[in-house]
Amino acid sequence: MGDEKLLTVGELAGKLGVTVRTLQYYDREGLLRPSETSEGGRRLYSQKDMVSLHQILALKHLGFSLSEIKSMRVSLSTPQEVAAALEKQHGLVTAQIEQLKNVLAAIGILRDEVLRINDVDFEKYADIIMLLQQGNGNYWIWKLLDDTLAGHIKDRFFKRPDVGMKLFNTYKTLVEQAVALKNKNEPPDSDSGFALAEKWWDMVMEFTGGDMSLVPNLMAFNDDKSNWDEDMAAKQKAIDDYIGQILTHYFERKALLIPGLGG
């Protein structure tokens, strides 16, 4: 090793804040072997070994197992290899930071929802956590659902969150269309109103699965918007009457179009 200063196992352990026993274990596992051994059998580590140990500890801190770290280790013989190893660590740390940011945001969201629920309801807490893990930004709805609607959504959509998200996105799209028609003063009995009402009712049928007994629960959910998302509450309030009118005309026209249902 030439004139390079070598470190004893105790010195290396002290510099990077690990125990001697840890370094001995890494040696036995072939994860970090000393560069030299003295005539008396003492383990001696080089500066390169210190860099390797730093790499191991960083990956361990990120949650990787020692067997995973062993397979991830790369040669540190050239500046390019050292830089590549550090770049890989940089990417892993960045990913963990983003994950921790998401966890922190989820904790804050859950805390706020717990206070809004204003009751100890661990089943609702668990459901909100699941929605957050799915990346579902509509968790605010959950605290407002009665047991019937909550049970229906669990049975129908929790195992297929993509279907539930698609349906909610349909709802948001139809709300925007209703706002636009109302702002244009489009008559509720117009063809455009009929087309929107048809899509709206199809959405309701898809959500309920044809179970009409859920409609009163949906209406009750819509009646009290005090804890809704502010933007959605404002838009839905603005179109409630208009939606009622276009649905009324829709059902009247459908009755005329379906044999046996006319007057």
Model confidence over 184-194: pLDDT tens digits? 999 999 999 99
Residue 56 CB coordination number (10 Å): 22
Answer whether 178's CB lies under 8 Å from 239's CB: yes
Mean per-residue pLDDT, 132-148: 64
The stretches of the chain forming alpha helices (DSSP H) are 9-16, 20-28, 47-61, 66-72, 79-117, 122-133, 147-157, 161-183, 191-208, 215-223, 230-257
Alpha-carbon distance of 149 to 208, in angstroms, equals: 9
Asked if 136 and 113 touch (Cβ cutoff 8 Å), the reply is no
Handedness of CA 112, 116, 120, 126 (dihedral sign): negative
More confident residue, 176 or 75: 176
Length of the chain, in residues: 263
CA distance 82 to 196: 61
Which residue type does 246 have?
I
Of 167 and 101, the one with more pLDDT: 167
Q: What's the mean pLDDT in 131-135?
A: 57
Q: What is the band of 263 on the pLDDT scale with cuts at 50, 70, 90?
A: very low
Q: What is the pLDDT of residue 125?
A: 60
Q: What are phi and psi of 209, to 5 degrees?
A: 70, 25
Burial class (CB in 10 A: 0-12, 13-18, 19+), 108: exposed
What is the reported pLDDT for 199?
Answer: 95
pLDDT at 123: 62
If pLDDT is split at 50, 70 and 90, which confidence band does 25 have? Answer: very high
Structure pTM? 0.51
Reading the block at residue 141, the tokens are: 């709805």
Written as six digits, the tokens of 172 are 């948001």
Mean confidence (pLDDT) of the chain = 81
Residue 139 has pLDDT above 70, yes or no: no
The pLDDT assigned to 24 comes to 92
Between 96 and 262, residue with greater pLDDT: 96
| pLDDT in the model for residue 262 | 45
In the predicted model, is pLDDT for residue 86 greater than 80? no
